[in-house]
Amino acid sequence: MLRADGIAVSYGRQRVLRDADLTVAPGVVTGLAGPSGCGKSTLARVLALMLRPDGGRLTVDGTEVRRWRQRAARDLRTKVALIFQQPRLAVDPRLTLREIAEEPFHATGRPPGPAADLADEVGLTPELLVRRPHEVSDGQLQRACVARALALRPRYVICDEMTTMLDASTQAHLVARLEAYRTETGAGILAITHDDELLTRWTGPSEGPIVRMG
């Protein structure tokens, strides 16, 4: 269980989250909806251990998180993967798609799988894997980001408006890929989106709750 209790976050004097509670259960897609600026992305960063909150408590499978970002234990922070809304900002522009997707393997000293498997898994051709971010579309880049997020088999995946900027077929493909991953591993998924229809369709099969913020 990925559980946040009473999370409070401020940027300077601006309070963006006050007493936010959220639970992401394993094997279930939890939906999170809310208007722009209500703090969804901030909560996503807290849940991914990327932002230390000013108050509240976060537990990952019963372990309370006391350190954040690189100070958090590697085993703990790799349990929660974060997929960003804008893939172009979420990748190092110097790296190829293959280097992006395989980065978690190199960072943790694990051997990456064959490139063909990686390409097949997220629908990227081997020819695309040698390209750099500016040479591919947003959809192709987001596929590499999804491959990177799933590389270390995380227990929880936080999708922060992951499909907002993508065409319908890429959106369907990526959601299907995450659903397959959930069914295969029993991972919990937090789907953050403005799209109510997508949220209903995505949370439906696992009968997950939809939480509304703001």
Partner 1 sequence: MRTSERIAAGVLVALALAVLLVPLVAQLDQQLVDLRAANQGPSLAHPFGTDEVGRDVLLRVVYGLRVSLLIGLVAALVSVTVGTVAGLTAGALGGAADRVIMRVVDGFNSVPHLLFGIFIVALFSPSATAVVASVGLTHWTTAARIVRSEVLTLRARPFVDAAISGGSSRLRVVRRHFLPHLLPHIALASVLMVPHAIWHETALSFLGLGLPPHLASLGNMINDGARSLLAGNWWASLFPGLFILLPTLAISVLVQHWRDRANPRRRSELQL
Radius of gyration (C-alpha) of the chain in whole angstroms: 17
In whole angstroms, the minimum distance from the beta carbon of 205 to partner 1 comes to 26
Nearby residues of 177 by Cβ (< 8 Å), 6 or more positions away: 121, 122, 123, 146, 150
Q: Are 44 and 155 in contact (CB under 8 A)?
A: no
Nearby residues of 155 by Cβ (< 8 Å), 6 or more positions away: 2, 26, 60, 61, 79, 80, 187, 188
- Which is closer to partner 1, CB of 141 or CB of 175? 141
In whole angstroms, the minimum distance from the beta carbon of 3 to partner 1 comes to 18
- Which is closer to partner 1, CB of 109 or CB of 207? 109
In whole angstroms, the minimum distance from the beta carbon of 92 to partner 1 comes to 5
- Which amino acid is residue 85, in one-letter code? Q
Rounded distance between C-alpha atoms, residue 91 and residue 87, angstroms:
7
What is the binding site for partner 1 (CB under 8 A)? Answer: 45, 48-50, 69-70, 74, 77-78, 80-82, 84, 86, 89-94, 103-104, 107-108, 132, 134-135, 145, 148, 151-152
In whole angstroms, the minimum distance from the beta carbon of 201 to partner 1 comes to 27
In whole angstroms, the minimum distance from the beta carbon of 57 to partner 1 comes to 20
- Which is closer to partner 1, CB of 45 or CB of 203? 45
- Which is closer to partner 1, CB of 13 or CB of 94? 94
Which two three-digit tokens encode residue 59?
């537990």
Rounded distance between C-alpha atoms, residue 5 and residue 55, angstroms:
9
Please report, for the chain, how many H helices and E strands are present, in that order: 8, 9
In whole angstroms, the minimum distance from the beta carbon of 207 to partner 1 comes to 28
Q: What are phi and psi of 33, to 5 degrees?
A: -125, 165
- Which is closer to partner 1, CB of 82 or CB of 203? 82
- Which is closer to partner 1, CB of 139 or CB of 203? 139
**What are the Cα distances from residue 173, in Å, to 7, 114, 136, 168, 178?**
33, 21, 17, 9, 9
- Kindly state the DSSP code that residue 110 receives in the 8-state scheme: P
